[in-house]
A and B are shown apart, each in its own frame.
Chain A
Amino acid sequence: MSKTTQAPNALRGVGNYIDDRFHLAKTGEKNLRKVFPNHWSFMLGEIALYSFIILLISGVFLTFWFKPSMVEIVYDGSYERLQGVPMSEAFASTLHIDFDVRGGFLMRQIHHWAALIFVAALVIHMLRVFFTGAFRKPREINWLIGVAIFALAMVEGLFGYSLPDDLPSGMGVRILQGVMLAIPLVGTYISMFLFGGEFPGDDIITRLYVLHVLLIPALLLALIVAHFMILWHQKHTQYPGLGRNDKTVVGTPMFPAFAVKAGGFFFFTFAVTAGLSAFIQVNPIHLFGPFAPTSITSGLQPDWYMGFMEGSLRIFPNWLDFTIPIGAGYPIMTAVLVPGLVIPGLIFGALALWPFVEQWITGDKRAHNIADRPRNAPVRTGLGVAGIIFYGVLWMAGANDVLSETFSIDLYLTTYIFRVMAIAGPILGFIITKRICLGLQRRDRETLEHGYESGVIQQLPSGEFIEVHKESSDETVEVLSSKRDPSSTALTDEDVDASGVENPDARKGMGKFRRKLAHWYTKDNVSVQGLEPHSGHHLHHSQEHLSEEGGDVER
């Protein structure tokens, strides 16, 4: 290549000006040289980040016209069909954005679509991190920050959905208030304080607005910055491969290649959001009409990320409700409390605790930079799939009326089906996923041992037909042989030590429990330890190979 171009004087001047004040040349170069491993799954978090940026831009635009006021007015604006209809100023100003501000409709749609994509990208990114074990030491704290971002994003989305004060949005707020009222002892107090009185009151939109545009975005921004700084400092995980290990990361450097790719990807994300907003209508509040506490329409659906809450509210029965027989009697509404508080608590709690639970089970205190292939951690992968199915069933149950109508199934029957699926689905999902993982492990072992099936059939002198296996590439061998057997310190500690003293852990309840979990977590595995790659006999396949794990039968 030709000579290096000299930095232009202007750039040099700016650079020197900054460096004179901040001493950044060395740090700057180090960071521009930061390496990003290449894999498509690492772009999921980027989508979330870019959607958040789009949300900030479009959100600021909307605040220029939106009036977070519940003052009831009679509409006299440009949208003819609602003229003369009483509505809140919030709803009227949203109509103004749609029908009087050029590009306002587009920006509202971009804001809404970006929110849907933001949460979706968050969730998929989180699943990627979960299934590849990228939450393990040293990245547990960043995982916790991610869980907090997820929870805040949901609340942020719900509040934003509530602001235009159209019929579905007001009903969302009503349901939120109904759940609050069900909280024992303090429910009415929480509701009265949040709403400044009874439902709907005069204050709730103003208050949700401040939370939506100031407090929660500030928290989200702080958490996202922290998430990013930690990621930057600790560097990405990477998938196993040639030259990659826990000490060395391989990939594209920040400057120039990653910066250009990531910049391009930001524009792609924005293009998709803008395209959806241009051609697929979302939340057409002018068709829904203003909120009235006495009106409702059937087939109401919340934004997708609230669907699991809606679904669990629909399918959780009132059979467990009871009344505390003191005085007049105080009700415990399990049919509201479990779906409204316990289930989200369980989902977010399980997410937050899992890295620490897994670490406790395995006793693994090492730092990991190489991501697991999901199949190599079958129990974790199975649990993840069980979680997805549980969430997914609840989510679908949130649309049981739509499903009932579309497929002509009795409405109550769908409720029963979802009740069964919510319990049976995750169990089945766990078992099936674990079996699939082990099956894939067996195939990996076989590939490692014998190479890949070439598709060439040969006849042996004995007359037997065999398929010729060829040697896998070095890359494949490296990936497959990077598998480590799951282990736990709970199992390696002897029950009785050398001097005959029983291990105290084995006797205590918690220790026993941990050993049981450790056994459950590690028992099923197809080991590749000590396996010679390509040790299989490529032309002598007449005898059966039976690995000690069983099931690895090949003809």
Chain B
Amino acid sequence: MGQVTLTDVRKVFGAFTALEGLNIDIAEGEFVALLGPSGCGKSTTLRMLAGLDFPTAGTISIGGRVVNDVPPGKRDIAMVFQSYALYPHMTVAENIAYPLKKRGMPKAERTAAVQKAAATLQLEPLLDRKPRQLSGGQQQRVALGRALVREPKVFLLDEPLSNLDAKLRSYMRAELIELHRRIGKTMVYVTHDQLEAMTMADRIAVMHGGRLQQFDTPAAVYDRPANRFVAGFIGTPSMNLVEGAVRDGTFVFAGQALPLPKDRFGDVPEGPAVLGLRPEDIRLEQGPLQGTLRLVENSGHEQIVTVEVPGGTRLLVRAEAGRPLSMGQSATLAVETARLHLFAPGETGARLGRDPGGAVVEMAPRQSGGAS
């Protein structure tokens, strides 16, 4: 019904390759977020799913049917645009009814369907208004209503929350999760906001430079980033990435040596590598690293501390609130070695070693830029 499959999809605009060898399999009823910085190809992917753009190569299928040559209106999809794209000259009711009208549904049925969708989204009092008379949040709900009303197989959402203020955004985020749970339809959600992706999606497709970097659950993307790009992109504050080298079972950088657990990194060949450490996996206590506190940012429920280790490398460390810390103070750092990551050098250097459980996830050859 609502499965979505992209096979070897490639998209070229003139001399620019927007997407390269994209393979994504989305199950019925799944909520998938396409996440990445601007220009990573996520919106292009969504537009191709909608039929507003066409792949240069590869196939796209929705509900088991190849839709490469099917016009948008016949794909059984609905889309919510970042700009909402409400028709300004139509009332809310007419906006919501438009897709039904285009399908030739009789007027009485149309009115009933609009009423039902309006009830779901608490839009009843607004049905006779024009879009310009609505607030941003209300316009957003009308756009959702227009998508909901025809009960499509797949919902495509293009950064639907990015025009809302912070408070409304978190409210609508909860609403969308609830909506997805209730209607159980496949949703593909494009965002550059990792918080949205992490909190809403069943699986996240992290994209960068027109390539899929990792496609996995939020927990897996966070705990086992497939490469250096994903490691640096997911998480706030972002993961500390330190250039150095593997030597004698330790990670050496700027004159310091951090012992690597043998069970995970025993097989990693010696040579240049990148160490990844999340701020919460470094603690300000007795440990192998020395440093000086350069900046303490207290957000109330925690403190983010910037520690400079000899050689000038700066590490972000998450510390509990209330602990007396001051700038210029020297400290030693302990590292949760079970949770550290190693990557091959290069912007998208692959993950090295074994997972904490012991299973070999990847034994990628050491090369730069060789992410899948």
Partners in one complex: no
Chain B interface residues (CB < 8 Å from chain A)? none
